[in-house]
Chains A and B, each alone.
Chain A
Amino acid sequence: MNNATYSSLLELAAGLVILCAFVTLWRRSLSAIVRALSVQGVALGIVALVLGLHRHDAVLITVGGLVIAAKGAVIPTLLRRVLANDSRNRETSPLVNVPASLVGAGALTFLAYGATRSVVALVPTSAGRLIPLGLATLLIGFFSMVIRRKAASQIVGLLLVDNGIALVAFLATAGVPLLVELGASLDVLLVVVVLRVLAVQLSSKFAVLDLDQLQGLHD
């Protein structure tokens, strides 16, 4: 793989990761959001694969393959199962309306860009330059957890955060140790499973999956 192809492939894949993060904010239908998430997982895996191929790092290639399998297929499938239980699977009324949240996410992207200037200076490779995109994905994940009501949206936000961390880790270092990445992915998987159970219980008790209703417990 020559240098130009390597860096443009890397750029495209990293660009796809953040684009999918924006799509999760843009679309209202939860199934479309999950689809975006699975594309994001695949793009993340491709980042790892490309980096691994470029550095001839077998571990990184393996991680890439696993990421594609876990985040591109397994987790989205689980999420779809969660959604299948909820008939009203649209994020109808987020706390912040869609145009405003998109603009807010744009602002967060700039924040990520500004905040990582010094880090980028430390990693002067074509991979290092893309670190802001990873941080931006993380921030957008947090943001979407803040502004969305549905339990499933919260999981999506968490996954975005996780993907953002993974992207930064891939790009900043020679790659995350396999064990750490697997551990993190397992954590997320666990969370998804727990939430799935919770969701099933919530929907059987209250027939909705709206987190705002949890506030009722407080009063």
Chain B
Amino acid sequence: MNGFAHLLTSALVALVQLALVAVGGPLLLGVMRKVRSRLEGRVGAPIHQPLLDLRKLFTKQRMRPRESSWLFGVGPLVLVATVVCVSAISPLATTRPPLGQSTDFFAVIFALLLGSVVLALAALDTGTAFAGMGSSRSMTIGALCEPALLVAILAMAIPARTSNLPALVRAGLGHPALIASPSRVLALASFLVVILAESGRLPVDNPSTHLELTMIHEAMVLEYSGPDLGLIILGESMRLAFLLGLLVNLLVPWGVANRPGALFFVIGLAALAAKVLVTGVAIATFEVFTAKMRLFRLPELLAGGFVLALLGAVTAVVAR
């Protein structure tokens, strides 16, 4: 009976975390757009506009380019599925998520990578020029992000002596000195650069551009429409929310439920939402003052991210 109750709570925790990310992702997008338009002197669409857009998209017809194969339809599904899977088992609102013992940082990152790879393949499947261009550019950026990402994880994992995600968050709760340590700050700064690059935010990619030649991510999904496009938008926004959630929990873990109990979990949810909201507003504000970088200047940015992570690793080893 106890085992069954445990299973039920785990499933509930997973579902609630998942629901928060699924609703919070589009809302985060709405908030970021709102902040942007307000700072630019416009009124802007209401915050829940992305949700309305999604509802609209799901009422439309599904279409696929004539020459495409089954992979075209699978791409958006895999993208959403990977985010759904990792946000159910990651320490977002609690440090004891279901299957938390095996929620490895590397596994989470590689699972997310699976989503982007399948989407890039699906873009090539359309057989059009712009989709291929977007796919090529996003894979280039992805390849250059990877060193910064993995070394940043290394830098965070060295002091904690594990790459288990819940353990990393718990380590921050247990030893506040670890949070202020330069290794962790540097690693997280590098992680932030990678998040911005991977989720197509400024200065890497302009999410609101209308010019195909400068598009990266938007170009990749040009051929998608209706529910498939809806899934992609949902998946992308969920991924941004999820990654920011991880970032803030590693940076300032306060509020995350560290012991069982519904009250702590609810506090954890609220804290997570608040922290991600603040980060999202900060990013949106930053975007107002930033121009998109030239594509071939991006290696400089990402090399900078890599060096931040490397410095984090060095200081982690030096400071022991």
Chain A residues engaging chain B, CB cutoff 8 angstroms: 4, 8, 11-12, 14-16, 18-19, 22, 26, 98-99, 102-103, 105-106, 109-110, 113, 129-130, 132-133
Contacts and interface: CB of A to CB of B under 8 A. Distances in A.
Interface string B162-177: 0000000000000001
Interface in B180-203: 180-182, 185-186
A62 B186 CA distance: 30
Contacts of B180: 8, 12
Contacts of B300: 26, 98-99, 102
B135 to A, nearest CB: 23
A19 B189 CA distance: 12
B319 interface: yes
B304 interface: yes
A127 B2 CA distance: 52
B310 interface: yes
Those 3 A-B pairs whose CB atoms lie nearest each other, nearest first: A15-B182, A99-B303, A98-B300
B318 A130 contact: yes
Given A11-B319, A26-B304, A133-B315, A99 B299 contact: yes
B181 A11 contact: yes
Interface of B: 177, 180-182, 185-186, 299-300, 302-304, 306-308, 310-311, 314-315, 317-320
Contact of A98 (B303, B308, B318): B303
Contacts, number: 65
B304 A129 contact: no
Given A8-B177, A8-B181, A11-B182, A19 B311 contact: yes
Contacts of B315: 11, 15, 133
A16 B311 CA distance: 11
19 contacts: A8-B180, A14-B182, A16-B182, A22-B308, A22-B311, A26-B303, A26-B307, A98-B300, A99-B299, A99-B300, A103-B307, A105-B307, A106-B311, A109-B310, A110-B314, A113-B314, A113-B317, A133-B315, A133-B318
